């Protein structure tokens, strides 16, 4: 029993040290990207943001198969998939740039909201 406690003591000390170190690190802030960040971003950053959303859409589509339309009303993915399908990254960048330039009063609107409500939803409804 004594041997077991001698072996556990270093393990416990390492775990306590790791926990204390993790508690000292600031939490990762993954805020929603708004027009404020969008208009200040470089073309590469804008493209990376849109590629990330595109990758999420492709993964979601692969997970649900071809029946992603059945998720309508439960997820934003069906509208984004349907409404942005066939739109290039360059076109999305240009449309978002144009939206925020034409609507400076809406600069605090999240980019994903503009993609959904202003770009994808109108195409799905028509």
pLDDT for 66 beyond 90: no
The confidence score (pLDDT) of residue 1 equals 46
27: in domain? no
Residue 16, domain member (yes or no): no
The band of 56, judged by pLDDT with boundaries at 50, 70 and 90, is confident
Q: Which domain holds residue 88?
A: 35-125
Mean per-residue pLDDT of the chain: 80
Output 32 or 4, whichever has higher pLDDT. Answer: 32
Alpha carbons within 13 A on the beta-carbon side of 13: 6
Residues of the chain with pLDDT > 70, as a percent, come to 68
Q: Is residue 103 part of a domain?
A: yes
In a domain? residue 48 = yes
Give the relative orientation of helices 43-64 and 89-102 as an angle to the nearest 10 degrees: 120
CA distances from 88 to 47, 48, 93 (A): 10, 13, 9
Residue 82 confidence (pLDDT): 86
- Total count of domains within the chain: 1
Does the residue 15 lie in any domain? Answer: no
Nearest 5°: the CA angle 35, 36, 37 is 90
Whether residue 56 lies inside any domain: the answer is: yes
Is 17 part of any domain? no
Whether 96 is covered by a domain: the verdict is yes
* Verdict on whether the full-model pTM lies above 0.75: no
CA distances from 67 to 23, 53, 85, 110, 115 (A): 43, 19, 15, 28, 22
So what's the pLDDT on residue 99? 98
pLDDT digits (tens, 9 = 90+) for 11-44: 545 555 555 554 555 554 668 899 999 999 999 9
């Amino acid at each position: 029993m004594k041997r077991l406690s001698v072996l556990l003591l270093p393990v416990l000390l390492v775990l306590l040290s790791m926990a204390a170190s993790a508690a000292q690190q600031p939490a990762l802030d993954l805020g929603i990207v708004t027009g404020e960040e969008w208009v200040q971003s470089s073309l590469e950053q804008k493209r990376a943001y849109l590629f990330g959303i595109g990758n999420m859409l492709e993964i979601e589509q692969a997970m649900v198969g071809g029946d992603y339309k059945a998720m309508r009303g439960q997820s934003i993915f069906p509208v984004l998939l349907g409404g942005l399908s066939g739109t290039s990254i360059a076109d999305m960048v240009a449309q978002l740039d144009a939206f925020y330039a034409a609507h400076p009063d809406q600069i605090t609107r999240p980019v994903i909201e503009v993609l959904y409500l202003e770009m994808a939803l109108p195409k799905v409804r028509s």
